[in-house]
């Protein structure tokens, strides 16, 4: 699963109604162009594709107020909202070591209720532990660890990062249970998008150390 659909659905959903450039700006505001494949082409492609699949509703709209070509506005449908929550839940529970999907999931976690968020994260911890158990058992060579040589270092790295991921997840669960953040149904939600015309304080990105994912 790539993070782009979750990101785009979430952005449109928070706006109620949004055109491509607005989504693009939100994703940049969230820094998503740094840690996911949120390039213009991918965003517009995802919008069109999801409109074709009935997850979004496309409205043809008059030429922009601020120059440039005419723009299309999108609205999320019932089925799109379902898909959003399906993707969101999957992003939080499944352990697939791709940081971008998890990052997107965390970004939208407050769209869930607190109890469910905690439950999903516990499921995540369980998934990591299960994965760890199976991988360490499977990759313990019967004829001694030397037999796989440096290849064992690959498994070692996976296990190391799985452990770190589990530990971080446990910390997050603890913070949420201690009352941090405002979740769905708990009053004024956290505002995570730019309103029309608001300037983006994070316009120039985090400096890259190496190639982006």
Restricting to residues 18-77, name those near its own copies by CB under 8 A: 30-31, 35
List 61, 157, 174, 184, residue binding its own copies (CB under 8 A): 157
- Does 41 bind DNA (CB under 7 A)? Our answer is yes
Give the interface segment with DNA, choosing from 32-40, 75-83, 119-127, 133-141 (CB under 7 A). Answer: 32-40
User: In angstroms, what is the minimal distance from the CB of 67 to DNA?
Assistant: 3
**Out of 53, 82, 115, 154, the residue judged to bind its own copies by CB under 8 A:** 154
Contact 169, 124 (CB under 8 A): yes
> Between residue 68 and residue 97, which ones bind DNA under the rule CB under 7 A?
68-72
Q: Are 183 and 153 in contact (CB under 8 A)?
A: no
What distance in Å separates the CA atoms of residue 3 and residue 26, rounded to the nearest whole number?
14
- Taking the C-alpha atoms of residue 8 and residue 38, their distance in angstroms, rounded to an integer, is 9
Please tell me the number of Cα atoms within 13 Å of 155 on its side-chain side.
Answer: 17
Which one, 66 or 178, has the nearer CB to DNA? 66
- Which part of the chain contacts DNA (CB under 7 A), choosing from 39-47, 84-92, 142-150, 163-171? 39-47
165 binds, among DNA, its own copies, none (CB under 5 to 8 A by kind): its own copies
Q: Site residues for its own copies, window 76-105 (CB under 8 A)?
A: 90, 93-99, 102-103
Helices 20-29, 4-15: inter-axial angle, 10-degree rounding: 110
Ordered DSSP codes for 109-133: GGGS-HHHHHHHHHHHHHHHHHHHH
Burial class (CB in 10 A: 0-12, 13-18, 19+), 188: exposed
CA distances (Å), origin 7, targets 19, 103, 164: 14, 10, 25
Residues that bind its own copies (CB under 8 A): 1, 30-31, 35, 90, 93-99, 102-103, 106-107, 109-110, 127-128, 130-131, 134-135, 138-139, 149-151, 153-154, 156-158, 160-161, 163-165, 167-168, 172, 175, 180-182, 190, 192, 206-207, 209-213
């Amino acid at each position: 699963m790539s993070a782009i659909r979750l990101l785009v659905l979430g952005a449109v959903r928070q706006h109620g109604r949004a055109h491509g450039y607005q989504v693009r700006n939100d994703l940049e505001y969230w820094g998503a162009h740094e840690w996911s494949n949120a390039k213009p082409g991918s965003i517009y492609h995802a919008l069109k594709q999801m409109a074709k699949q009935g997850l979004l509703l496309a409205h043809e709209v008059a030429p922009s107020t601020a120059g440039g070509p005419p723009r299309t506005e999108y609205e999320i449908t019932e089925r799109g909202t379902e898909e959003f929550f399906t993707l969101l839940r999957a992003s939080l529970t499944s352990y697939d070591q791709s940081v971008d999907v998890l990052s997107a999931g965390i970004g939208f976690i407050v769209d869930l209720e607190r109890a469910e968020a905690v439950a999903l994260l516990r499921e995540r911890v369980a998934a990591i532990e299960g994965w760890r158990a199976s991988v360490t058992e499977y990759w313990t060579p019967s004829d001694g660890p030397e037999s796989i040589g440096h290849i064992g270092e690959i498994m070692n790295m996976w296990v190391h990062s799985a452990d770190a991921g589990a530990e971080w997840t446990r910390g997050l669960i603890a913070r949420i249970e201690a009352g941090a953040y405002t979740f769905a149904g708990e009053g004024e939600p956290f505002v995570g998008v730019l309103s029309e015309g608001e300037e983006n304080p994070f316009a120039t990105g985090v400096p890259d150390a190496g190639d982006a994912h």
